[in-house]
Chain A
Amino acid sequence: MNRRTFLTASLASASFVRAVPSWAALTGESTSLLYASAFTKDNQHSFGLFNEQGNILWSTNLPARAHGPVLHPVEAIVGIVARRPGFYIDFYDIHQQTLVKRIEPTPEHHFYGHAIFTSDGQKLITQENHYPTGQGKVFIRAWPSGEVLQSFHSNGIGPHESVLLNEQTLVIANGGLKTHPDHDRDILNLDTMAPNATYLSLEDGAVRQQANFTQDLHQLSIRHLDVNPKGIVALGFQYQGEPWESVPLVGVSNINSSTIEPLELPENIRMRFKQYCGSVRFDKSGEVLAISTPRGGLVAYWHVASKKFLGIDNCTDVCGIAATENSHEFFLTSGNGKQLLCNPVTNTALVVKKHAGYHWDNHLNLIANQRT
C-alpha cells in the first residue's frame, strides 16, 4: 500500500467516524484536485495551493524557504516543512485559511525538509539532525499537540525523506551527509559518508532491513524516495563525488534485500542529470516511476516491473512531481513557474500554466479531494 493508496483508503474509512477534509470551500468545486507546493516570488518565500488548471487558490508567506509539503490524511490540514537546516513546520487549516500550528524541533535538532503523518493522522513523523553529534533521528509527535512521543535513531546520518511501507515500517533515506547549521550546508564528512535506506520499525525503532552501497559508491547520497503498492521503494541519488564519474543515479530497494538495484539509464541521459536527482514519485498505479533533475532540466520515467526506461520530458529547472488521479500521469512544476501535465505512456506533455516570476520549489504534493 503506498502513501496515496492508504491516504485514499484511510479517508474512506475515516469518513464514517470523522469529518473528511473540506477542500471544496477552497476550490468551489467538489471534484477539483489541489496541489501543494512552496514557492518563491520576488524573494519572498511562500506556500500555496493550486488546482489542476494551475490557478493558485490560496497562498501564505513563510518565515524562511521551505521544502516539502506534508498532508494530513483526515483533516483539512496541510503543512510545509522548512528547508534544511529547518526550524519550523507550519500547519494550516485550509477551510479557515489560518495557521493552526507551528512545530519546532527540540533543542540542538533541525528538520530536513520532509515529514509525514501516520495513516490515522494521529502522529507526525519527522527526520531530524542532532547537529552536535550529526546523528540522524526520527521523531514521532502527537497530532495536534506536537508532543514528542518517541524518538529513534535513523541508523544513519542525514535522514532526508521517509515514506511508510506499512503502518509499522518507515523507510528512511539516510543521505549520509553530515552538516551543521553553523557551517551553512557544507558537507563535513565527504570522505566517510555512508548513505543507506533503512527500514525502521515504528514500534520499537529496530532496523528491519538496511540497504547500502558498496564502498566505491559511498558518496552516493540517497535523498528522496517513494514506495509503490507492491512495496518497491524507488530511490533518487545525488552524487557528491566528481562530476565526470559514471555512477548510478536511480535505484530500487525492498525490505527483503540489503542491496540497492540500479535502474537502467541511457548514458546520454544520465550525463544530463549532472549527478543530481530531485523528486521521486510513483504514479497512481505504482507502475510508472518519475524522477526529476532540475540541473538536467528533465523528468525521466521507468516502467518499474520490467525496469525499462521509458523516456524523458524536457522542462527547464523542473523539480516538483506529483502523481495525479490518473494512472501513468504526473503533474510537474519548475523553478521558472511552469506547471505541466505529462503522461510517459501516452507520450503526452501539456503546459498547464506558466506563472511569471514564480519559482516553484523542490517538491509538490497532490491533495486528494473529497466530495462534501
Chain B
Amino acid sequence: MNLSMKKLALTLGAYLPFFVTAADWQQPLNSITDKVIVQGYQAYANSADKLRQDVTALCGQASEAALELAQQDFKANVLDWQEVQWLNFGPVTYFMRYYAFQYWPDKKGVTQRQLRVLSQNPETMEAPKFWNSASIAVRGLTAIESLLFHPDFSPMTSTDHCHLLEKVSLHHYESAKAVSTEWSNTQPQSWVYSEEGESFDANQVAFEQYLQQWIEHMSAVKDSKLETPIGYNSHGNLKLAEFYRSDMSLKTIQKNLQTYREIYHTGSPSLYDLALESQPEIAEQLEEQLKNNVTIALQLPENFFHEGRSKEQRIELARPLVSSISQSQSALISLVTQLGFQIGFNSRDGD
C-alpha cells in the first residue's frame, strides 16, 4: 500500500463507522441464546419445579422447616429469573408470561385482594383455560411471594392458602417450563418479523432486538429497581423495590449486573471480541463499566433496602452505582450505534 492509499484508509477508518457483516453477529447471537437464554430458562424452570415440589410437601405436612425451604426455593427461582429477565422476546411474550414472571409493584393491593378471592373460591381455578385468562396478579412470582411472605397469608396454618399456593406454583412452573421448552425448539431468527427490502437480515435484526432489550433493561435496573424505590429523584417508597417482601431487592440488581457481563462475553467471538476489533476504546470502556457495576453493587450493605436509614443516607450509598450504571448505558448505546445497530428513535422516544 502506498502512502497516499494508507492515508486514505486511515482517514476513512477514522470517519466511517466499522460495520461488522450481518453474518458475524450470528455467533454472539446464537451463543447468547444458547448459554444465557436457553440454559437460563432451563435453570429457571428447574428451580420453579423444585419450588412447586416443596410447596406440595409443605401443604402435605406443614412445618416451619418446610415453609423455610419453600421460601428459599422461591428466592433461588427469583435469582434465576434475573438471568433472563432482560430479554422480553420470543416465547416469553406469549400469554403475558413475561409480565406474570415479572415483579409487580402493586400499589393498590390488587394481588392480595385477588388472591384472597381465589383462596375463597378455589373451584374457579379448575375451570378449563382458567390460567390462560387469569390476571397476571395471581399467576407468577409476585403472587407466590405474597403467599409465602405477606402476613395476610399463612400457608402453614390455612389449607385454603396452601392450596392456592400449590396451584399458583404449579402454573408458574408450567409457564417457565413451556418457555424453556419452546426456546429449546426455536431460533431467535424465527421471532423477528420480516420486512421489505434487500437489507433485511434475520440475524442482524434479532441481535438488534437483543441489544435494544439490554439497553432498556439497564435503564430499568437504574430507574425502577434502584432510583425509584429509594427516592433518588423524588419521593421514595421502599415497597416499590423488586421482591422487597422476600428481601431480594439488592440481590436481584447484583444478579442483573453480573448477567450483563455474560451477555457481553458469551460466544467466540463474543460481542466484546467483535467490538474490540472495530471500536476498541468504547469496547474497553464498556468492559470497565460493567466490571465496576458488579463491584460497586456487591459493596452495598445487605440491608441497603431495609428501613432504618434515612433517604439521604441511602441516596449517598447508591450514588456511585447510579453513576456507574449511567456510564454503562452511555457506553453501551455508543458502542451499539457505532457498530451500526439502530437502537430505536421513534420507538424509544415518541409522543
- A contacts, CB < 8 Å to B: 40, 67, 83-84, 113, 160, 185, 223, 242-244, 271, 276, 278, 294-295, 297-298, 313-319, 334-336, 338, 340, 349-351, 354, 359-362
Contacts and interface: CB of A to CB of B under 8 A. Distances in A.
A316 B351 contact: no
A316 B195 contact: yes
Given A294-B345, A335-B346, A360-B346, 14 more contacts: A160-B351, A223-B351, A244-B99, A294-B346, A294-B347, A298-B193, A313-B196, A314-B194, A316-B195, A316-B205, A316-B342, A317-B347, A318-B346, A361-B346
Given A297-B347, A315-B195, A354-B197, A335 B136 contact: no
B199 A354 contact: yes
19 contacts: A40-B345, A84-B351, A113-B351, A160-B351, A185-B351, A242-B99, A243-B99, A278-B350, A294-B344, A317-B344, A317-B345, A335-B342, A335-B346, A338-B197, A351-B197, A354-B197, A359-B345, A360-B346, A361-B345
Contacts of A40: 345
B96 interface: yes
Interface string B92-107: 0100100110001000
Interface in B327-351: 342, 344-347, 350-351
Interface in B198-253: 198-199, 205
Contacts of B197: 338, 351, 354
Q: Mostly helix, strand, loop or mixed at chain A's interface? A: strand
Interface in B299-351: 342, 344-347, 350-351
A163 B195 CA distance: 32
A242 B99 CA distance: 10
A298 B346 CA distance: 12
B196 A350 contact: yes
A67 B349 CA distance: 12
A349 B196 contact: yes
B195 to A, nearest CB: 5
Interface of B: 93, 96, 99-100, 104, 136, 193-199, 205, 342, 344-347, 350-351
Given A244-B99, A297-B193, A316-B205, A83 B351 contact: yes
Nearest to A358: B345
Contacts of B347: 294-295, 297, 316-317, 335
Contacts, number: 72
A331 to B, nearest CB: 13
B129 to A, nearest CB: 14
Contact of A335 (B93, B196, B345): B345
Nearest to B102: A244
Nearest 4 CB-CB pairings of A with B: A335-B345, A294-B346, A244-B99, A359-B345
A350 to B, nearest CB: 7
A295 B349 CA distance: 9
B105 to A, nearest CB: 10
Given A244-B136, A276-B350, A362-B351, A336 B345 contact: yes
B99 A336 contact: no
A83 B344 CA distance: 18
Nearest to B107: A191
B99 A340 contact: no
Highest count of chain A CB atoms <10 Å: which of B104, B193, B194: B193
Contacts of A315: 195-196
Contact of B196 (A67, A278, A351): A351
A362 B196 contact: no
A122 B351 CA distance: 28
Given A316-B195, A335-B347, A350-B196, A271 B342 contact: no
B200 to A, nearest CB: 9
Contacts of A83: 351
B206 to A, nearest CB: 12
Contacts of B193: 297-298, 314
B195 A335 contact: no
A180 to B, nearest CB: 14
Contacts of A314: 193-195
Interface centre among A83, A160, A317 (most CB of B within 10 A): A317
Q: Most chain-A CB neighbours within 10 Å: which of B194, B196, B342? A: B196
Contacts of A338: 197
Given A244-B96, A349-B196, A354-B197, A67 B351 contact: yes
A197 B126 CA distance: 43
B139 to A, nearest CB: 10
A335 B344 contact: yes
A315 B347 CA distance: 11
B323 to A, nearest CB: 20
B205 A362 contact: no
A349 B193 CA distance: 14
B350 A294 contact: yes
Nearest to A361: B346
Nearest to B198: A351
Contact of A317 (B93, B104, B199, B342): B342
Nearest to B136: A244
Contacts of A244: 96, 99-100, 136
Nearest to B341: A336
B99 A319 contact: no
Contacts of B104: 242
B107 to A, nearest CB: 10
A340 B197 CA distance: 9
